[in-house]
Structure 1
């Protein structure tokens, strides 16, 4: 029987923390493929510059200052946590080894947390507004005839819906820009903390040492022009149609945006179809024109 002392408890926490950190570092992540990580230092961040695609003009005479429409798009950080209780009897009975997998799983949960959040927000783009007040995936994003966002806008779509389609949505993104289609706003990285003093109230009343992980972050949308969603069959014609529509998107004032679709994002249910579409060779007399055209990302948490 082990004697519970502060030195023993400190040693246990060191071991639990290693289990946590090892698992956290080994988790493969996908979110950075489609989201730009922004370090946050405040409760929320406002991205008033969204909608402005910078460009250069020939400098003749004085500089021309164009007033841009301001957008009050803000992303507010949220708190996330997970807590584990360790029974004092297990420590006294030298049974703490049974908790090692639990702390490893806690580390894994912290590691996949960004993926869970980012791909959930991508999927919610059909009913969640972005900087221009429209749903991120919509058929009527306003694009204005003047670069300063004035004039009568025309509606531009980054969504196609086939009412007869019963499958899951799929997405084509341009992730080649400094700002990717989604934003992962990180305020506080996952951190394992403990409440394990021998004279702690919960140890006294319930014989329980507590260990928890918490973090602060949030996910939001960048430029809608860099993303296109489809609720229609995933096939070569529809993928090419998506690429063509994205390439044709212009900014305010008829500005060419040079959108270059780089990645096809699908849920696991469409993995087989997408793999065949992008990677399968056809026959000796023809080649797969989509092979190597875009990268395939099968999103585990989509």
Structure 2
């Protein structure tokens, strides 16, 4: 191939097409558990309204609830992956291998936010959320109906393989996926670019800017106990009994059971089987959707 500006532009279009096709085809599950938040600065700080209570009968002047903010900052990070194409391969029309390479670049770019979301959920037993406690913890601070300090738990404890019961049908989900810059395809393929002069290569890459953080801990329950009817029932009860500050019932109904591949069988038996282990009717059938997540393996 004779290398001209037109030929390089055509190659770039082809490489980007392969990249975009793979990016669009990357399987994603993160939207099931993560709320996407657009960010316009290097970091975003979330002030959670902790003192809002339920509606009351309007008798006399309005009563103003106090608002307490828990400062929780998610700082954006910049991620990239870059590949190079040898100029000699272009001259020799040896380009078949590069279609696969740009497909892999698209796969890697598409999977990165996915990996961040599921890694954070898995790390919830040892990573702090906005109230200073680990996201899955037994003593999250809160106030009761009288304004007195108390705590709530959103974990079953244990030391086995983690699984998660989540409430994902509200306006905010358990994980925040903060995006500052969407996945972008970039390139340096002009004849006078330094990489061409010094290395005889054309350079193409993808980058994404953002980060992940935790949402409301009451909407998630993490356990490392054996996944069975007893531990699942405890998780459902815990989420349904969750309250906000001031003792206000949140009215949560868990709807998604998230498991790694190793717990798929246990999850299917729990949520899909007509009968329980003892032959009695399985009371938990259909009470949540099972989501098997490869990224949790």
> Shorter-chain TM-score category?
over 0.9
Residue ranges of structure 1 left out of the alignment (5+ in a row): none
Are positions 1:100 and 2:93 aligned together? no
Counterpart of 2:295 in 1: which secondary structure?
coil
What residue number does 1:23 align with?
22
Residue ranges of structure 2 left out of the alignment (5+ in a row): none
Higher mean C-alpha displacement, 257-266 vs 287-296: 287-296
**How far apart, in 2, do the equivalents of 1:138 and 1:111 lie?**
31
**How far apart, in 2, do the equivalents of 1:78 and 1:122 lie?**
18
Are positions 1:10 and 2:4 aligned together? no
What residue number does 2:237 align with?
244
What residue number does 1:269 align with?
262
What residue number does 1:258 align with?
251
How far residue 54 of structure 1 moved from its aligned partner, in angstroms, is 6.1
Specify whether residues 17 and 274 from structure 1 end up closer, same or farther in structure 2 by C-alpha distance, changes over 3 A only: same
What residue number does 1:224 align with?
217
| Cα-to-partner distance string for 1:84-108 (whole Å, 9 max, x where unaligned) | 0100010000011210011111111
Specify whether residues 128 and 37 from structure 1 end up closer, same or farther in structure 2 by C-alpha distance, changes over 3 A only: same
For residues 65-214 of structure 1, the aligned pairs below 5 Å read 65-145=64-144, 151-162=147-158, 165=159, 167-214=160-207
How far residue 56 of structure 1 moved from its aligned partner, in angstroms, is 2.2
Counterpart of 2:47 in 1: which secondary structure?
coil
What residue number does 1:300 align with?
294
Counterpart of 2:208 in 1: which secondary structure?
strand
TM-score by length of 1: 0.93
How far residue 282 of structure 1 moved from its aligned partner, in angstroms, is 2.0
How far residue 288 of structure 1 moved from its aligned partner, in angstroms, is 2.2
Q: RMSD in angstroms over aligned alpha carbons?
A: 1.6
How far residue 252 of structure 1 moved from its aligned partner, in angstroms, is 1.5
How far residue 68 of structure 1 moved from its aligned partner, in angstroms, is 1.7
**How far apart, in 1, do the equivalents of 2:117 and 2:148 lie?**
34
Task: Please say if residues 163 and 222 of structure 2, whose CA atoms lie closer than 8 Å, have aligned partners that are also in contact.
Answer: yes
TM-score by length of 2: 0.95
